[in-house]
Structure 1
Amino acid sequence: MTPGALVNCKDDLFTHGSKPLPKRLRKLLGTFVLVTYVIVYCLLVMKLASATLPNIGGWGHLGFYVFFGLIWVVPAAVIVWWMQRPEAQSG
């Protein structure tokens, strides 16, 4: 499979039937996905923190909070990028 085929395949993942999702619908779905993702992410990181941080020193706390405080941005940025894509030109 060529890299170009993967790009074309990615565009087919977010289509509604044979036509792409309208921008308003993408924004609505993306908003729900983003809010759900942030809530679930926070709950999982809180659970992980309560299980691991009592056994780690001060620098470990700092590293934990810096890492997990920033890493959530990557998936969120992908969701926002998908929401903001321009609509496909018809015809």
Structure 2
Amino acid sequence: MPPRVRSFIGTILIIFLVIIYALLATTIATLTLATYPWWVHLIYFLFSGLLWILPAMLIIKWMAGPKRQD
């Protein structure tokens, strides 16, 4: 697959990932954390705010393509 096509597909995937993940994380927080204190919210959003990076790294790694053999 050409690198430009791979980059385009990866960019679209990352945009969808961020949108779906933000909606999902916010919905879970709204439904489950309503009665918890502020520090639980802080820990949840800190953790969930960093968790989306893992699948994004996989997409970026795929976008970079296979390693070159020198």
| Bin of the TM-score, shorter chain as denominator length | 0.7 to 0.9
Aligned length: 69
Q: Looking at CA atoms only, which structure, 1 or 2, has the larger radius of gyration?
A: 1
Q: Which of 36, 46, 52 lines up with 1:72 in the alignment?
A: 52
The structure, 1 or 2, with the larger RCO (C-alpha pairs under 8 Å, 6+ apart) is 2
Deviation for aligned residue 1:88: 6.6
Which structure shows the higher helix fraction? Answer: 2
Query: Distance in 2 between the 1:49 and 1:58 partners?
Result: 12
Q: Which sections of structure 2, spanning at least 5 residues, go unmatched?
A: none
Q: Does 1:83 align with 2:60?
A: no
TM-score (ref. length: structure 1): 0.68
Query: Distance in 1 between the 2:36 and 2:26 partners?
Result: 15
2:3 equivalent in structure 1:
23
Query: Distance in 1 between the 2:40 and 2:8 partners?
Result: 38
Which structure shows the higher strand fraction? Answer: 1
Residues 1-91 of structure 1 correspond to what in structure 2 (within 5 A)?
21-86=1-66
SS of residue paired to 1:54: coil
TM-score (ref. length: structure 2): 0.86
Read off the aligned partner of 1:40 and give its amino acid letter. Answer: I
Query: Distance in 1 between the 2:67 and 2:38 partners?
Result: 48
Q: Which sections of structure 1, spanning at least 5 residues, go unmatched?
A: 1-20
